[in-house]
Amino acid sequence: MTIDNVIVLSAGQGSRLRPLTDHCPKCMVKFQGRTLLEHQLEIYQKYGLGDVTVVCGYESSSVKADGIRKVVNEDFSTTNMVHSLFCAEEFMNGNLLIAYGDIVFKPEVVGSILEGKGDIRVVVDRCWRELWSQRMENPLADAETMKLVDGDRIKELGKKPQSYDEIEGQYIGMVLISKEVIEQVKEHYQSLDRNAQYDGKSFGNMYMTSFVQGLIDAGFDVRASFIDGGWLEFDEPGDLALQFVTAS
């Protein structure tokens, strides 16, 4: 599969990463000498991926990189990931890769989603517990459910787990939607009740996992593209000292 468009979601304030985000969003924080966005762009270029759109909000003028298109979520302070994504709806065409702006990853992470199965693919880390253990004493407290059937078909994600048995991996913040279903996915979003609650959040504050769960519940075929480490997430200053986990 080839990717026609990439949308990087980086509108939030990243308050837990202060003071590093006092004057820029998380995607412009530096890790090993380069911004998180530059790390991502290098991987996209390796694979010859299509146009890259960055959805900005907080300190949007500070988001700078060669070869990107910027879209601004003017309501960034009162909305969440899904709203940011649909601020760039006009660029949600073809085979679309969606990535959070606060992650970095090795090339094989993108390779896994390109080589995966299904019209909607979610990158799932099977070695998540090793990474979480670098960041906190109790990984279960911060983890979310990931329940699979038929090997790679996702039936539930993003809920609060009661035990590790409910976690067959962790969603890392990367989703692929194929050109075959992208219009249906947009239609599904537009059909949602603006007054409803989505996992306890308002329509504008909907999490990406809640949106993906809604697609699953609506009958879309959503598959896991598995990785075994090879990525990092940055929420707090201490995360800049994290080390990549790889399968032993």
> Chain-wide mean pLDDT for the chain?
94
Parts of the chain with a pLDDT under 70: 247-248
Predicted local confidence at residue 157, as pLDDT: 97
Specify the pTM. 0.95
The DSSP string of 137-193 is S-HHHH---EEEETTTEEEEESSPPSSGGGBS-EEEEEEEE-TTTHHHHHHHHHHS-
> Which of 49, 75, 46, 40 is closest to 60 using CA atoms?
75
**CA–CA separation, 206 vs 94, rounded Å?**
24
pLDDT of residue 30: 93
Give the pLDDT score at 29. Answer: 95
| Residue-level pLDDT at 185 | 98
pLDDT value at residue 144 = 95
Predicted local confidence at residue 219, as pLDDT:
96
